[in-house]
Structure 1
Amino acid sequence: MSKKAKEIWKQVDQYFTDALIAPGDGFDTALEENRKAALPTIDVTPLQGKFLELLVRATGARRVLEIGTLGGYSTLWLARALPPDGLVVTLELEPHHAEVAKRNLEAAGLADRVELRIGPAAETLAGLAKEHAAPFDFIFIDADKSGYPEYLQWSMKLSRPGTLIVADNVVRDGKVIAPESPDPNIQGVRRFTELAAAEPRLSTTVLQTVGSKGYDGFAIAVVLH
């Protein structure tokens, strides 16, 4: 992609953000707190956060599972979409990231809708299954891409017919098409895709995206039965 194309993507992102997301409505303070805490700058964009919010609202979800909290920016969008008695269970590996997320959730007045669990996601997901947690209505996967195959398998166990599963960063700047790539993130996404394609209980598609974060995409799947 040319430098000019990337600049246009960023400008278009900014145009629609300015037009559709009111100042303060995009949780700007959380992004600033994440920056101050030196967290990786890999949050979803404001428009992508609003996309997640709309999906949760459209599906009428009351229980949301998020795999990968970081500083809680996407968590805020998910939580805001829920009714007062709704719940986001969000999983984060790094205690420092989790502390920043807690502060952001409290500052936004949404901490009461979020249960944050710290530890390796695979272990936490196994714990949820062992607890016989009620099925989730919406699942957002946005953690280490090498773990996506395992996260999908656990998501299936923690879902119900009608559950919507969204996985971020599956296009990887187009590098996902390289079958011999040594990158574990690429291989994780490719295996995730193979599992989704072979799973008769899922109907899955992928939307490629461009914007201020470059070239990537979402996998979107619904549990059929």
Structure 2
Amino acid sequence: MSQQQWDAVDSYFSEKLVGDDPVLAAAQAAADAAGLPQIAVAPNQGKLLHLLALTQGARRILEVGTLGGYSAIWLARALPADGTMITLEIDPAHAEVARANLLRAGLDKVVEVRLGRAADSLVELERAGVEPFDLVFIDADKAGNPDYFASAVRLTGPGSLIIVDNVVRGGSVVDADSTDPSVVGTRRLHDVIAAEPKVSATSVQTVGTKGYDGFTLARVQG
């Protein structure tokens, strides 16, 4: 199997089950025009996040890593009328693009883009004693994932869902000798999850337009 084949399959599924969406297309185009890294989730992956949030009945969503707001739009569209979302972004340019995209999507009153280091923003949320989040999507720097996940557990409650993207690293996750910070962080993430009695989790490999990677899904038990 080749990347070309994976691209074709993803395109087929997206055409059949996701369809064209001018708002999402404009969001991606704006991110590309601004020179943002082309690392947003694929359309069918965005739809998966949307369906997970709907299935979860999420009323409060937290995202770690905003980029251009593409995944935030998918997630926020799953919220009920009284729902809210906070998304964390370290790069001012990325945050500016995301805010414009959320405004265009009519979600600027629903989604708050918080600028700053995710680790600092998460500590602030914990100190503020915010209401638990029903769903957390972590898609930021992979070296920080162990700490982001630990914070997510503290910021959620029984029944909440935590999703971590890009955990396979092209298969490098099994390389115990790797010095790549993203691989080291991903391996530490799984150590943290395995040692956390409050969650039940699994990780799944995927292939598609984003290459060979995967995600972790964890449910907070109590």
Q: TM-score interval w.r.t. the shorter chain?
A: over 0.9
Give the 5 Å matches for 1:1-225: 5-24=2-21, 27-225=24-222
1:207, distance to aligned residue in structure 2 (A)? 1.1
In the comparison of the two structures, how many residue pairs are matched?
Answer: 222
Alpha-carbon contact 2:23-2:104 (below 8 Å) kept = no
Alpha-carbon contact 1:84-1:113 (below 8 Å) kept = no
1:33, distance to aligned residue in structure 2 (A)? 0.4
Please state whether the residue corresponding to 1:220 is helix, strand or coil: strand
Q: 2: distance between equivalents of 1:173 and 1:28?
A: 27
Q: Which stretches in structure 1 are left out of the alignment for 5+ residues?
A: none
1:17, distance to aligned residue in structure 2 (A)? 0.7
**TM-score, length of structure 1 as denominator length:** 0.97
Q: What is the RMSD of the two structures over their aligned residues, measured on CA atoms?
A: 0.9
Q: 2: distance between equivalents of 1:209 and 1:74?
A: 18
Please state whether the residue corresponding to 2:158 is helix, strand or coil: coil
**Percent identity for Structure 1 against Structure 2:** 50
Give per-residue Cα distances to partners, 1:117-165, cap 9 Å, x unaligned. 0000000000001111110000000000000010011111101000100
1:25, distance to aligned residue in structure 2 (A)? 6.0
**TM-score, length of structure 2 as denominator length:** 0.98
Give per-residue Cα distances to partners, 1:29-64, cap 9 Å, x unaligned. 100000000000000000000000000000101000
Q: Which stretches in structure 2 are left out of the alignment for 5+ residues?
A: none
Q: 2: distance between equivalents of 1:215 and 1:74?
A: 19
Alpha-carbon contact 1:90-1:116 (below 8 Å) kept = yes
Q: 1: distance between equivalents of 2:150 and 2:107?
A: 29
Q: Which aligned segments of 4 or more residues in structure 1 are displaced greater than 6 angstroms?
A: none
